[in-house]
Amino acid sequence: MPRLVLWLLIATIAIGILVATLIASGGSPVQIAIAEQSDIRESVDQEAQTRLPRTHRITMPFASRLNEIELVEGQAVEQGEVVCQVVMRDLDNELAEAQAAVDRLSRSIDESQDVSVEQSTHAQALSFVESMVNTVAAADARAEAGKAQLKFATERLERIRQLGSSGATSQDEIDRAQLEYEQSLSSFRQDSLTSEAVRSIEAATKLLPRMVQDFISRKELGTKVLLKQKDEAEARLRQIELRKQRGTMTSPIQGVVLSRAIKNEQFVQAGTELLTLGDLSLIELESEVLSQDAVRIRVGQEARVYGVALALPMESGLSARVSRIFPAGFTKVSSLGVEQQRVKVVIELDEAAQDFLLEHQVGIDYQLRARIFTATAIDAIVLPRSCIFRGPTNQWQVFVVEGHRAQLRNVEVGIMNDDQVQITDGLALGAAVIAAPENSIMHGTKVRPISP
């Protein structure tokens, strides 16, 4: 207890001495900062999400029944590895049916293209027509001979009848001439009928080669139809073979399964998403930067990636660079309900940074932070950011301590960040400047620095 009283007494005396000193000096205590020569970097600091430059969607190539997908999220896959497969039984049946149709049409085409019998028949028909031409000529010649015979018999009968009327011949001679006439007339009529019949047969015979040729032409036309049908059947066969090939879906990359939409065996429509694959070794970041900050960002600028998820401060952040800036902005409502115009910026990690993320099992859509360095000044005159403020005319100003008094100075600033600012004009190296000046300090105010 006596010791506590002693300490309280000492503290009271120290405070009294400090107050007396302040009253004696008559100046406002201020903290000062010295204008130093140093490098300074301007930056944009923003939240960023991990992403992949490209993901691969495995979709159903056609409507069919799908086997169970055994892969799970996070499982590694090799390039060319089978990841999904349709039930092949139905495709095998369709393939066998299509192959049978092609084989059947091939046999029909072979049969249709064989016209040897028809060509032989056509040749025989031409020979028969030629024979009939000769037969018609012979029949015509016989008919002409019969006509001449009939004419002779008629004329002889007339002469004998004239002789008979004058009694110059006998009745037997007249009867014999009459018989010859009747025989010649009958023979002529028979030969004429035969000639007409043979001509009719000749006309019919001449149609036979044409009929055979027409049959051959129709058969050739049928062959062309069969060939077209075979082309269609072969196209269907190729389509089924292609479907069977597509029915076995393989991984296009070496990576991991990011998501699985279907697990159990079921009928699936064409285009349905089954798996999403990605290569985590290509991981990058996407940041939504305010549009007023985005105008200072350029492709290739250096960046640092850090954050709680990595247990890394900014000073130890992962090395990266800006790889792409989206050309169009978008409106986003902040957590405070304020509409903001933002621009997407893609940040590419170097190989060591990507390996670090893989080792720490950082996946897609993880929340990190990225600081993009937009400008750098070497050996610049710098001050703490809290030293500068805007004057009545919107001019940057500082309070310089000279002779224990605050002197108001206009300054020109260059690049700045959250901690420091570059002074390009109006301030000398080594000048003492008031940090975070209070509103009560004015030009000429007496001050007392409390830190060198």
Task: Note the pLDDT of residue 313.
Answer: 86
What number does CATH give the domain 25-40+380-449?
2.40.420.20
Task: Give the whole-angstrom CA distance, residue 352 versus residue 443.
Answer: 53
pLDDT band for 148, please (50, 70, 90 cuts): confident
Sole residue written with tokens 């000062």:
32
Q: Where in the chain is the domain with CATH 2.40.30.170?
A: 46-53+279-377
State the SS3 of the chain.
Answer: CHHHHHHHHHHHHHHHHHHHHHHHHCCEEECEEECEEEEEEEEEEEEEEEECCCCEEEECCCCEEECCCCCCCCCEECCCCEEEEECHHHHHHHHHHHHHHHHHHHHHHHHHHCCHHHHHHHHHHHHHHHHHHHHHHHHHHHHHHHHHHHHHHHHHHHHHHHHHHCCCCCHHHHHHHHHHHHHHHHHHHHHHHHHHHHHHHHHHHHHHHHHHHHHHHHHHHHHHHHHHHHHHHHHHHHHHHHHHHHCEEECCCCEEEEEECCCCCEEECCCCEEEEEECHHHCEEEEEEEHHHHCCCCCCCEEEEEEHHHCECHHHCEEEEEEEECCCCEEEECCCCCEEEEEEEEEEECHHHHHHHHHCCCCCCCEEEEEEEEEEEEEEEEEEHHHCEECCCCCEEEEEEECCEEEEEECEEEEECCCEEEEEECCCCCCEEECCCCCCCCCCCEEEECCC
Task: Note the pLDDT of residue 283.
Answer: 94
> Residues 373-431: pLDDT tens digits?
999 999 999 999 999 999 999 999 999 999 889 999 999 999 998 899 999 999 999 99
56-59 and 82-85 beta bridge pairing: unpaired
Task: Give the whole-angstrom CA distance, residue 414 versus residue 85.
Answer: 62
> Residues 78-123: pLDDT tens digits?
999 999 999 998 888 888 999 999 999 898 888 877 777 777 777 7
> Residues 427-450: pLDDT tens digits?
999 999 999 999 889 999 999 888
Q: Which fold has domain 96-245?
A: Helix Hairpins (1.10.287)
Task: Give the whole-angstrom CA distance, residue 213 versus residue 124.
Answer: 12
Task: Give the whole-angstrom CA distance, residue 424 versus residue 414.
Answer: 6
pLDDT at 320 over 80: yes
Task: Give the whole-angstrom CA distance, residue 262 versus residue 81.
Answer: 18
Cβ density class 239-268: b for 16+ within 10 Å, e for less? ebeebeeebebebebebbbbebebeeeeeb
**What pTM does this model have?**
0.63
Task: Note the pLDDT of residue 251.
Answer: 95
> Residues 58-85: pLDDT tens digits?
999 999 999 999 999 999 999 999 999 9
Mean pLDDT of 145-161: 79
Task: Give the whole-angstrom CA distance, residue 431 versus residue 411.
Answer: 13
The distance in angstroms from the start CA to the end CA of the chain is: 39
Cβ density class 394-418: b for 16+ within 10 Å, e for less? eebbbbbbeeeebbebebebbbbbe
Mean pLDDT over each residue of the chain, to the nearest integer: 86
Q: Where in the chain is the domain with CATH 2.40.50.100?
A: 56-86+249-277
pLDDT band for 21, please (50, 70, 90 cuts): very low
Residue 366: both structure tokens together:
């993880």
pLDDT at 22 over 70: no
pLDDT at 197 over 50: yes
Q: Where in the chain is the domain with CATH 1.10.287?
A: 96-245
Q: Which fold has domain 56-86+249-277?
A: OB fold (Dihydrolipoamide Acetyltransferase, E2P) (2.40.50)
pLDDT at 7 over 60: no
Task: Give the whole-angstrom CA distance, residue 340 versus residue 331.
Answer: 6
- Higher pLDDT: 11 or 358? It is 358
Mean pLDDT of 264-293: 94
Residue 321: both structure tokens together:
């660079």
CATH class name, domain 46-53+279-377: mainly beta
